[in-house]
Amino acid sequence: MSLHLEVSNSLVKLADTLLLKIAEGRRGVFEPITIVTQTEGINLWLREYIAKKNGIAANINFITPNDIVFKIFQILGGTYSETISRETLIWLLYKALGEDDFAHRFPEQYAYFLKPLSERDRKRMGMATKLADLFDQYQIYRQKVITQWNNATPKLFYAPSDWQEFLWKKIKAETPKDIQDKSLVKEFIDKEIFKKDNQQLLGKTIPDIYLFGLSIFTNYHLDILKTVAPWVNIHFFLLNPAPQIYWMDDKSDKQVAKWRSHKKGEEEMSLIGNPLLTNWGKVLQNTFRLLFRSEDLLNNYNDSHVIVPREDSMLHKIQGNIFNNNVDTNIQLSSDDLTDETLSIHSCYTIASEVDALYQYLVHLVDKKNVSLSARDISVMVSDIDQYEPYIRAVFDNAPYKFKYKIADVSVANGDTIYNALRLLLELNEQEFTSEKILQLLESSYIRKRFNLDNIDNVRSLVKYANIRFGVDGSVTDDTYIVSWQYGIQRLMFGLCMSGEMLMEENGKAFYPIDSIEGNGSKDVISFCHFVEMLISFIKKRNKQLAPTEWIIYVREVIDNLIYQVADNIDEDFYELSEHLVQYNDLSLMDLEPVAFDVFRLHFLTTLDSTKRSSLFINDGITFCSLIPMRSVPFKVIAMLGMTAKDFPRKEKPLSFSLLQQTYQLGDRNIKDNDKHLFLETLISAQEYLYISYIGNSVKDNTSLPSSILVEELIDYVQGLSSDASIDVRKFIVTQHPLHNYSSKYNSNDSKLYRYATEKKEEQDIFSEIAKEIPSSVFENISLSSLVAFFSNAPKAFYNHVLGIYYDEEVTLLPETEIFNLSNLDNAILKNEMLGKDDSQLESFKQKLKLTGKIPLKNVGEVSIEKIEEMVNPVRQYLSEAFPNITERSISIEIELYKGCKIVGDVGGLYNKNLVSVCFSTSIKKRLLRAYIQAMAGNVTGEITEMTFIIVDPKQESEMETKSITLSSVSIEKFLSYLKRLVDIYKKGMQSPYPFSDSVYFEMDFEKVAKLSQDDLEIFLEKKIASINSNLDSYSEKSFHQGIWKGQTAVDAFREAFDVVFSPIREVFPEIFEKKGRY
């Protein structure tokens, strides 16, 4: 039994050597193979590779370095059930930090989390988490310190600097005896291994241990492996970029320059190595220095399994220089190498453009480079996978040429998962119990399925109709109970049980049931109300302090009652979440301090978010994953996204009180060095192409943003390899992408800027194709309301009814605050509603407005109603005098213009045969046009013979103008002809956007404009539209950019509108069209 060290520059060669060693040492088919790795990604790759080589991969036990140590411990007779976990450390430290004993002994540390008072417990939890991480590291990297603390007798007095030792002793005293720290595990192994029976048992149980692909080791693990090596074969299989050259003591140019600045006059430093290898390979240097402390490993060093890099491309030549540890430019790059695109660096403006540029590059490899490439040959590593995930899905899911892909390492709380549903529910509190917050919970398919909710749109509309806005109960004092959940649910449930919306009272509160729920909608309402009631009950359970284990029970109840019930087929996410909750079981053995829910939630959700999905690594398709060291398995194409200076390499954030910072020891963890090693691993692992991208310019002001220093070092290195020093290699290997995908720079002179997205058709071509598809049956029954709306905004009618496109629609989010003031639309609706109420109906009408939430709460609502009454009263008085004892009525009309075309609809506001239209706004011409079209249609049917138009000044309510006309002076045939011409324009506007909008035409002086010549009118219209462009609605603005408001099209439309639409109405109401001001 002994130590063996196999090294190679190829993971594939290492895997082949591993298979050979397994075959040599295998004692039986049913004997498990123990392979120690560091990441799940290596496990998946190696398992697949073994299956590919042997036809099967079975009875393989992949474990971590910590796991193999604990397994050895148990074989030797260790009785501890487990080592002390980070979770246990956190809660024990949280308790210890809050005790009076700690506060008395270490007031300076205790004062850190005292202020502000509202953040006291949260800051204590934050400090406990940081200390738990440190204590976890001390057990591995500073085992002697932990051993010293364990063996020290409790002190009566502690020096101020010994506060961490005091806390360690405290938590050790609280820890159950069957849970111990890692230092005691090592002490036990060091002691028990010298018992002969244990030696035989260990050699028989695990005769061989294979450590594969690790690049980071610690003294703790190596010492244990060396201790058991006489009885167990320990095989190391490690990557080494330059395995046949000793470079572990080589220095980089930077190190030499730094040495010279401090050691002037002393002996010159030698052994300068390849700059990429020495700058980025510090982790490997330290690892091999640790390993070479053992003569067995040094003597059993085998570097015969290597692959000498070819020199047929830029990437391979760089890899060759690293393999040979070339300091000088032994292998130089030709102009062909610089343009072979095997190393490609891309500067973009946004994450979206980064992902899009990667997609274009992959298509380019297949299209232009004729690379034989499957999706499984591609790996994409991202600096922040959670941030990039939605953009990856957006680009690759909607791409014209599809690539299969999987995204690994995303947080389990991302997306529509049981984790995310739990997070949303736990984050919700009583202060945020608003309409939209609750409805957004139903975006989770788990919650919808749990409560059997199908039609969420229906639920959303009912919540809006019930005027539920915020608060569980609200208050009677300020009337907020009217907008609360309990009040709204009461209205919904009573509405299900009875018909009509009559005034009712329950528990001293009056309310109007909502009688608008029919059929299947009742099921959704009942389920939704049950969901809200359950949610409220769980929210109210949080108003107390509980032990962490009791809060875990609460979490389980939330999952069971609000998210997921166990069925025959257990959901995989549910199983994993249950396993996550199991880690809290050890806490039940300890006497822990009760905590508020906010503190528990802070810790629990932080832990939950750190849980990642790694099982999708090397799955079917392109692998998108995080930048994790020791995972750089070989792929034909490797891409690295997010290589900005601020994101990579990651910066170390040392804690001032960390003992790790006081003295450096070989093998200590260093995040920055780990990332440098990852970059080196990636460069070596790319078999054919290496793609790097970063955000190189600000999307706000176009300022340059630096790429990662490692990217810059790589570019500088390539510059040094160029056979022609005058060539700027950046022009060849760095691509600066424009801001927009539709930039004319693509597919032009620069061969590095290409796009493969399908070409968009011209919008006018699209309109023509759609117009051909419009069936004639569409015009068989034209609603009067659609006709009227068309002559308010023709482009909008086309986009809505033909294209099915809606801009500037009413905000879909539910209102989460009470009404503070009435909008213009609300005012107009209430004015017209109050206009039809007599004095006997007004009080009950006002009460209903209040209880249904149509007006502001309390005094503001009363004042709003008074103002509306002041404006409406003069009109009501006029109507009562002009039409005594006559009630308002509505009529239905049906006019056949010609065969296969009718106008149908309803017209209200009739007093006898007089159509009365009241305008309370400043849009008088718009209102007048609408009323006149309705009057003409009614006149053709014989139902309307007169029209009265009442104008009320919204600024001076007492001022009122009345315009009355008799329609009998115009023949029915003329009105019918007029309607036909309007419908002809309407049909034209359904074929393509028609340039007619009241916001444009009603602002003109018609008399002057109509007299302009053809050319002058064209210029005038274009300038007019441009001058009000910022005030155009989205539909008119869109059509403006399409060009329909320009040229002959706009001129012809204006002439037609002037002749057909405006001329007849101007003849009847000339003063309205001639006056300026509010007209």
Residue 768: is its pLDDT beyond 60?
no
Looking at the 3D structure of the chain, how many domains does it have? Answer: 7
| Higher-confidence position of 1042 and 986 | 986
* Helices of type H across 586-670: 597-609
Does the pLDDT of residue 263 top 60, yes or no? Answer: no
Nearest-angstrom CA–CA distance, 148 and 921: 85
Residue 496 maps to which CATH number?
A: 1.10.486.10
- pLDDT tens across 60-77, in order? 999 999 999 999 999 999
Confidence of residue 835 (pLDDT cuts 50, 70, 90): confident
Instruction: Give 126's pLDDT tier (boundaries 50, 70, 90).
Output: very high
Strand partners, 8: 239
| Residue 890 is assigned to a structural domain of this protein | yes
Residue 428 has pLDDT above 60, yes or no: yes
- Give me the pLDDT at residue 762, please: 46
pLDDT of residue 388: 94
Model pLDDT for residues 1014-1032, shown as the tens digit of each residue: 778 777 777 776 676 656 6
The verdict on 881 and 979 lying in the same domain is no
Q: Which residue, of 565, 582, 609, is where some domain finishes?
A: 609
How many C-beta atoms surround the C-beta of residue 744 within 10 A?
9
Whichever domain contains 364, its CATH number is: 3.40.50.300
Same domain, 481 and 605: yes
Phi-psi region of 546 (alpha: psi -120 to 50; beta: other; left: phi over 0): beta
Contact between residue 994 and residue 988 where contact means Cβ atoms under 8 Å apart: yes
- Residue 399's identity, in one-letter code, is A
Task: Check residue 1049 and give its pLDDT.
Answer: 76
Asked if residue 224 is part of any domain, the answer here is: yes
What share of the chain in percent tops pLDDT 90? 42
- Give mean pLDDT, residues 208-227: 92
Prediction pTM value: 0.79
> For residue 486, is it within any domain?
yes
- 236 neighbors 35 (Cβ within 8 angstroms): no
Pairwise pLDDT comparison (616 vs 728), residue with the higher score: 728
pLDDT at residue 259 greater than cutoff 60: no
Q: Are residues 476 and 596 in the same domain?
A: yes
State mean pLDDT over 190-212: 93
Q: In whole angstroms, what is the distance from residue 553 CA to residue 585 CA? A: 11
Q: Of 185, 205, 222, which closes a domain?
A: 185
pLDDT band for 763, please (50, 70, 90 cuts).
very low
Mean pLDDT check: name the lowest of 358-362, 537-541, 958-962: 958-962
477 & 553 share domain = yes
931-951: average pLDDT: 91
Q: Cβ distance 946 to 932 under 8 Å?
A: no
Highest mean pLDDT among 548-552, 587-591, 818-822: 548-552
What's residue 330's pLDDT?
Answer: 64
Q: What is the mean pLDDT of residues 690-718?
A: 95
- The CA distance from 565 to 1058, in Å, is 67
Question: Quick check: is 814 in a domain?
Answer: no
Q: What secondary structure letter does DSSP report for 704?
A: B
Q: How confident is the model at residue 267 (pLDDT cuts 50, 70, 90)?
A: very low
Inform me whether the pLDDT recorded for 354 exceeds 90.
yes
**pLDDT over 70 at 760, yes or no:** no
Model confidence at 348, in pLDDT bands (50, 70, 90)? very high
> How sure is the predictor about 598, in pLDDT bands with cuts at 50, 70 and 90?
very high
The runs of H, that is alpha helices, within 631-762 are 671-685, 709-721, 730-733
**547 and 649 share one domain:** no
| 713 compared with 616, residue with greater pLDDT | 713
State the Cα–Cα distance between residues 497 and 262, nearest whole angstrom.
88
pLDDT confidence of residue 20: 92
**Structural domain boundaries, residue 467:** 418-609
| 617-645 pLDDT, tens digit each | 566 789 898 887 556 788 999 999 999 99
Given 560, 580, 609, which residue is the final one in a domain? 609
**Do 215 and 238 contact (CB within 8 A), yes or no?**
yes
Tell the residue number behind the tokens 């906010």, with chain if given: 598
363 within domain boundaries: yes
Mean pLDDT of 856-864: 89
* 167 assigned to some structural domain: yes
- Phi, psi at residue 502, to the nearest 5°? -85, 155
Residues 836 and 947 reside in one and the same domain: yes
Q: Residues 246, 236: one domain?
A: no
pLDDT band at 934, cuts 50/70/90? very high
Domain check: are 547 and 668 in the same one? Answer: no
Q: Does the pLDDT of residue 189 top 60, yes or no? A: yes
* In contact, 251 and 274? CB cutoff 8 Å: no
Q: What is the pLDDT of residue 202?
A: 93
pLDDT tens for residues 733-758? 999 999 988 888 998 888 899 988 64
- Residue 292 pLDDT > 70: yes
Same domain (yes/no): 842, 964 = yes
Whether 605 and 619 share a structural domain: no
- Is the pLDDT at 483 greater than 90? The verdict is yes
CB atoms within 10 A of CB 558: 18
Residue 754 is assigned to a structural domain of this protein: no
- Let me know whether 492 and 592 are in one domain: yes
- Same structural domain, 513 and 641: no
Instruction: Answer with the residue of higher pLDDT: 579 or 681.
Output: 681
The span from the CA of 999 to the CA of 929, in Å, is: 13
- Establish if 807 belongs to a structural domain: no
| Widest distance between CA atoms in the chain | 122
Q: Tell me the residue length of the chain.
A: 1079
